[in-house]
């Protein structure tokens, strides 16, 4: 039995995810956002502060700031002073932002679902369990 190459497994996983993202990029752009901005929208409710968002998404804070400003200008995000700490800004999805986020995540889910459809139900469940075990 040959030795498992972790880098090869990582590469296969990365190529799969990038293939899905590339597939949906034109449709996501038609919604008025870039794919990375979609990920910002998707993480925003759970992480409403820019610094948290940057850490969660493994993005530099200045990059998140640029995305947030563009999303705010597009009417997808609003910014407000945090009542608990007047020095912090809390971000919120607007109704338009929620709609775009839901539509974009559906596009990603459907594209990834097509790839998952190449596996049997048992293989899909096994993959889910393995990924949870690794996470």
For each successive 10 residues of the chain (135 residues), what is the average pLDDT?
85 95 97 96 95 95 95 96 80 97 97 96 95 91
What domains are there in the chain, each with its CATH number? 6-134 (1.10.10.10)
Residue 85: what pLDDT? 76
Residue 114: what pLDDT? 96
Among the listed residues 108, 110, 113, the one whose alpha carbon sits nearest the alpha carbon of residue 41: 108
Q: Which two tokens stand for residue 110?
A: 């459907």
Chain centre distance of CA 111: 14
């Amino acid at each position: 039995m040959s030795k498992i190459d972790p880098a090869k497994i990582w590469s296969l996983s990365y190529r799969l995810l990038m293939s899905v993202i590339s597939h949906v990029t034109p449709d996501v752009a038609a919604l008025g956002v870039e794919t990375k901005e979609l990920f910002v929208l998707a993480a925003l409710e759970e992480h409403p502060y820019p610094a948290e968002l940057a850490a969660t998404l493994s993005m530099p804070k200045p990059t998140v700031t640029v995305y947030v400003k563009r999303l705010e200008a597009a009417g997808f995000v609003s910014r407000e002073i945090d009542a608990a700490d007047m020095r912090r800004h809390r971000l919120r999805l607007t109704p338009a932002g929620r709609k775009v986020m839901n539509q974009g995540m559906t596009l990603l889910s459907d594209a990834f679902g097509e790839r998952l459809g190449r596996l049997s139900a048992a293989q899909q469940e096994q993959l889910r369990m393995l990924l949870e075990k690794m996470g």
